[in-house]
Amino acid sequence: MIISPPFLPQGPASGDDAWLGQAMDVGGFGDGAFPLGKDFAWHGGVHLRAPRGPQGMLPVCAIADGTVAYVRTAKRPNNDPNDPQNYSGWTDNGCVIVKHTTEIGEGVTVVWFSIALHLSRIAPSVKQGQKVWRKDELGQAGSIDGEAGLIHFEIICDDANLAALVGRASGALPTGQDGRKTAVFGSVYLRLPAGTPFYDHVPASPAHPTPFTETTALPAPAWTSGDDLIVAMSLSRAGQAQAVTLRTDGQSVGTVPVPADAALFDQAVALAAAQQAVGRDAYELLRFGRVLDPVGDTANLPNWQLVAYPGGQGWVNLHAQGVHACSDADFPDWAGWRIVGDDPDTDSRCHSAALVDLILGDTGGASKDRQAKALGKVGGADMQTRLARTICQFTTEWEKGSIAARWSWLTKETPPGGGPMAGSYLKPQDFPKFQKHAEAMCFWEEANLGIPAKHWHFHPREFVRVFRQCGWLSADEMFQLFPMTAMRKAGHAWVSENVGVRKSLVANYHVELNKACRRYGIVTPLRMAAFYANAMQETMWFSTLHEDNSSTRYYPWDGRGFLQLTWPDNYVKYWRFVGKNVDDDLAKKLDAAQRKADKEGSNAPLMALEAAVAAASMKGWRDDVGEMTFVAADSAGAYWAWSYASQHADAEPANQRATKPATGAGSHTYYTSAGMGNVAATVNVGHPSTHYASVNGIVARFQAYNSCEVVLMDTPAFPGSNHPNEPQNYKPRRP
């Protein structure tokens, strides 16, 4: 899933969370907060204030690819006091609902809806039944109760898709088992059971692990936990990561810095050597706290890490018996997530005992007295933060036929607390005006979305925040990464040619590519852009996984896979990493032949060893890299990891406009950036370099990267372009 907020301000690069807060400026309690309004009625979304850009108020955009499920054109404002939309000041009624169908993991297809209401204008291109693409304009923010520049925004789904999105249909995350393997993203959480021992000196360093196993005698522990603890780790971002120890209620116990994932490959190889295990298994264990796709026996493979405990720090085996792993894809309760589905739905008020208990911090149900107490506490900033991670089931407020039944209590109830608001919420004689106003905003029956009126609601900002960590691309999303054209040199000039991409190939490859990217931490937009851009060019736009060039000095060890392995040393390094039994003597001969072939510019030394290579099964292994999708993708990810490509890909692109002379007259434009240049050199010539001339196909690599920037990022900058967030004359590729 690729997802972004409905407003896209340029803003400073101050971190994704800060930017997301700027893009989704949510009103406070009583001003369009989620999931409760000031009268303790359910509120299914949030009110967002449109940020301003150089040209004025920013438009409302699609937050993900989808199909327009419903459109209502906005009525023009007027001063008629009897117009239902003038109740409490003019409220715009323009509405666009988008149905989103995408993937968040292997075999995990999800369907959900985004609702943008109170638009003052609908974009002309938005038509019911038509596709829209992430970042497409939907319309303009309108007015709510006479205040301009606001929208109501919702994200909803039905029962089946709640389970697909969060991994369960109700309750807290089960504690006695691992989370799902099909969808894994964001932070990794290791739940340590009560009685877990922490040690002072086991082992001395995670880079040089000692061979302790579950059956090896250990020293006396420095501390033993009396309760369950959670260790939260993230190794998919730039810079230094942290291991944060939490209590099961989410309260932090302490933090220990850990190396970022640039060092993960070397740690995994050392761990595997010490434990006589498979390197790739060790790599997955260090990244995910468990082995998602084991190659060998992993039962006794330890994961010793230094983490905090109350009052100190100690070494703990995070892969010991009884430790269970999950990720943000499981929406764990210790990360603040609550599934609230116990409201009997007698009217529009919140009658959820679970939510009232959450607010009050005890148990006792949802009586009117407790509702009143909860209403007095719900407005605090800390409580609003907690409520933002509730996923609540209740009937939509936009069903016209049930307005009277759901809201008539407003004429009978007294606001809690008395004071100046004592008396009814609404005088009975005023209810018809309120009802007509509410009905003027309703759309549920007309929209006919195919899900029940009582459904699940997410806080939109938190939904966007968590799924921005996903990194899993559907086949359609991956297909969009490819540029429409690419340049190649023709004599002294350059030609721009159409890029032909077989969608069927992308569909066949996308699962294994996603799994490889997840395994090796290629899950941020910057890393994915650099990885896929190079993979596109290396495979001639996914048309071949084997270079098959007998004239090269490194043939028959020529390029294979998505980031094409060349020379015997790279193949041997990968095979050893994935547990192949490589003959050491033959590997030494291949290394000597490689150096000789490189020096002489002839592949004869390598060809001379082909009979021995075939006899040792290496020929078949080598062919697998260019023929089996799993191996082609995994080898690319492994090469990415051991070449430390991520630390170059993580550099924010400062795109520089560049041109090449066209045949005939004129020029072609593309954009360079240092981080991508370093990755391209690492992939093609084996080491980072910003001197791009020696990199094969560097212009096409940059053009592919530019296309990936547009698809994967929110507001990439292309100086001098006719569209500031797209390369010059950019044309999107659509499935």
3-state secondary structure labels for all residues of 4-69: CCCCCCCCCCCCHHHHHHHHCEECCCCCCCCCECCCCEECCCEEEECCEECCEECCEECCCCEEEE
**Separation CA 344–CA 688 (nearest Å):** 61
Residue 98's DSSP bridge partners are 68, 114
Q: What is the pLDDT of residues 446-486, one digit of tens each?
A: 999 999 999 999 999 999 999 999 999 999 999 999 999 99
pLDDT (average), residues 391-415: 92
pLDDT (average), residues 152-158: 98
Q: How many whole angstroms from its chain centre is CA 326?
A: 16
Q: What is the DSSP string of 350-409?
A: ---HHHHHHHHTS-----HHHHHHHHHHTTSHHHHHHHTTEEEEEE-TT-GGGHHHHHGG
Share of the chain above pLDDT 70, in %: 95
Q: What is the pLDDT of residues 182-230, one digit of tens each?
A: 999 999 999 999 999 999 887 554 444 454 554 456 778 999 999 999 9
Q: Decide if pLDDT at 298 tops 70.
A: yes
Q: Decide if pLDDT at 690 tops 80.
A: no
pLDDT of residue 216: 57
203 preceded by a cis bond (ω within 30 of 0): yes
Q: What is the pLDDT of residues 355-396, one digit of tens each?
A: 999 999 999 999 988 998 998 899 899 999 999 999 999 999
pLDDT of residue 52: 92
Can you tell me which residue has the tokens 């679970």?
354
pLDDT of residue 422: 43
Q: How many whole angstroms from its chain centre is CA 262?
A: 20
What does the block give as tokens for 70?
Answer: 């419903």
pLDDT of residue 419: 42
* pTM for the whole structure: 0.95
pLDDT (average), residues 715-724: 92
**Separation CA 262–CA 239 (nearest Å):** 9
Q: Which residues contact 347 (CB under 8 A, 6 or more apart)?
A: 405, 406, 407, 408, 409
Share of the chain above pLDDT 90, in %: 83
pLDDT of residue 516: 98
Domains of the chain by residue range:
16-169+333-467, 188-330, 475-712
pLDDT of residue 11: 65
Greater confidence, 371 or 94? 94
220 touches 197 (CB < 8 A): no
What does the block give as tokens for 262?
Answer: 């640039």
Per DSSP, the three-state class of 231 is strand
pLDDT of residue 205: 46
Average pLDDT over the chain, rounded to an integer? 92
pLDDT of residue 203: 59
pLDDT (average), residues 223-241: 84
pLDDT of residue 514: 98
| Residue 155, amino acid | I
In this predicted structure, which of 76-80, 177-181, 322-326, 371-375 has the lowest mean pLDDT? Answer: 371-375
Q: How many whole angstroms from its chain centre is CA 583?
A: 41
pLDDT (average), residues 571-596: 97
Ordered alpha helix ranges (H), 109-197:
159-166
pLDDT of residue 207: 44
Q: What is the pLDDT of residues 37-72, one digit of tens each?
A: 988 999 999 999 999 988 899 999 999 999 999 999
Q: Which of the listed ranges 6-20, 145-159, 481-495 does the model predict with the highest average pLDDT? A: 145-159
Q: Which residues contact 292 (CB under 8 A, 6 or more apart)?
A: 181, 184, 284, 519
Q: What is the pLDDT of residues 243-277, one digit of tens each?
A: 999 999 999 999 998 877 878 999 999 999 989 99
Residues in the chain: 735
Q: What is the DSSP string of 522-577?
A: --SHHHHHHHHHHHHHHTTTTT-SB---TTSTTTTS--BTTTTB-HHHHHHHHHHH
Can you tell me which residue has the tokens 């007309």?
446
pLDDT of residue 13: 59
Q: Which residues contact 220 (CB under 8 A, 6 or more apart)?
A: none
Q: Decide if pLDDT at 618 tops 50.
A: yes
Given pLDDT bands bounded at 50, 70 and 90, which one contains residue 239? low
